[in-house]
Amino acid sequence: MKLLGISGSLRAASLNTALARAAAEAFAPAAFTLADLNLPLYDGDLEARGMPEAVLALNAAIRDADAIVIATPEYNAALSGVLKNALDWSSRVKPMPLTGKPVAILSAAAGRAGGQRAQMTLRHCLLAFDALVLPAPQVFVHASAFEDGRLTDETALKLVAQLMARLRTAV
């Protein structure tokens, strides 16, 4: 089984990357890969000259995965530009690699809603891809649930485990 993790944050100490890794531990056993979203901004002129190698690599990783877990931060009440840009690039490859893929969404944020609005916008964006987005459990994690870059809150860990069990079943 192959699980692809996608974190909507590029920061080295990203809580969402840590959350994606915690999800992978709960999903185990599986081969886990964390996608690289350090992509150029989508530009039709750049696309016309040929898909950037990083975009091709991302789409190959999506195609190769049996399941996908996306951890999205919340930036200004929405998903991050980094994540939206990756989705925009992914939509330019036919057939779209996310089509039919089981996808679990979670979020970590400093705000008290834990990224709830970001998840709503991400779910909306994923409609165009016809991905099999799990509806529940919805996992919103506050930044205080992490210690030294690891998810340690027992309630959050249980929710992540429940979501990953549903993702495994969806595969």
Q: What are the pLDDT digits (tens) for 20-70?
A: 999 999 999 999 999 999 999 999 999 999 999 999 999 999 999 999 999
CATH of the domain at 36: 3.40.50.360
Q: What is the pLDDT of residues 80-130, one digit of tens each?
A: 999 999 999 999 999 999 999 999 999 999 887 778 999 999 999 999 999
pLDDT of residue 113: 78
pLDDT in tens, 141-156: 999 999 999 999 999 9
Q: How many domains does the chain have?
A: 1
CA atoms within 13 A of residue 30's CA, in its CB half-sphere: 27
- Per DSSP, 157 falls in state H
Range(s) of the domain holding residue 139:
2-170
Residues 6+ away with beta carbon under 8 Å from 110: 142, 143
